[in-house]
Amino acid sequence: MASNPAFLETAMVVLDFEATTPAGHPPQPIEVAALALRYEAGCWREAGRSSSLIRPPAFAPVTAATTALNGLTPEQLATAPPPAQVLSALDQRFTTGTRYLLVAHHAATEANLIYHQREHCPTLARINLIDTIPLAKHLVPGLDNYRLDTLLAHFAIPRPVDRHRAAADVEVTAQVFMRLIDAADHEGVVDDLAGLVTIAGRTAKANQPTQQHLFEL
């Protein structure tokens, strides 16, 4: 893996959203964080990071359950920028000509949130993902479950006090991902980027073929 050109040319962007789940609507982002990593000269190097609160729309207020989970309150988000502004700014950080993969724990969650905001982040919406859950199942078989907290305990990574905030979750997800890649490289289980994608890749929803209607009424 450490000598595979495609892997070395790819920026891995660890991504995490916090969201509300309004009835009758898809989840709405209220916080996002991203951490870009490159593997160079035998070690990981940070290539950039960003983090922002996001003001949810009126139909998706922050509930007591959301506050209990991540500590975010309606008052904190009242003056935050809207999704269009935050995700457009994040989208502009992805440069033309650079190969990217997004990395997330249970990547379907992030994939869905990005897809529903794709008009604000068209570049981000077309970047495929690596899911750390199937990667961990492949490389660390036999755990009771593959929740993020379980993997933190397995790798002796301290659980952050602000767990379930986007920036904190990105940091620890990145640490888990790096441990998994190191294990794959050391054990020779995954040889190249193509093998990594086969095990843990997820196609961005914007890249999936649109189902055609069989009949036009």
* Distance between CA atoms of residues 116 and 158, nearest Å: 33
- Residue 188 · residue 3 · CB < 8 Å: no
pLDDT at 210: 67
* Distance between CA atoms of residues 85 and 189, nearest Å: 41
Q: Rounded to two decimals, what is the model's pTM?
A: 0.94
Per-residue model confidence as pLDDT tens digits over 68-105: 999 999 999 999 999 999 999 999 999 999 999 999 99
Average pLDDT of the segment spanning 122-151: 97
Confidence grade of residue 186 (pLDDT, cut at 50, 70, 90) = confident
| CA dihedral of 204, 101, 103, 81, whole degrees rounded to 10 | -70
DSSP summary character for residue 26: -
- Residue 70 · residue 18 · CB < 8 Å: yes
| Domains and their CATH numbers in the chain | 5-207 (3.30.420.10)
pLDDT at 211: 55
Least confident of 63-67, 82-86, 108-112, 183-187: 183-187
Q: At what angle do helices 193-200 and 132-139 cross, to 10 degrees?
A: 100
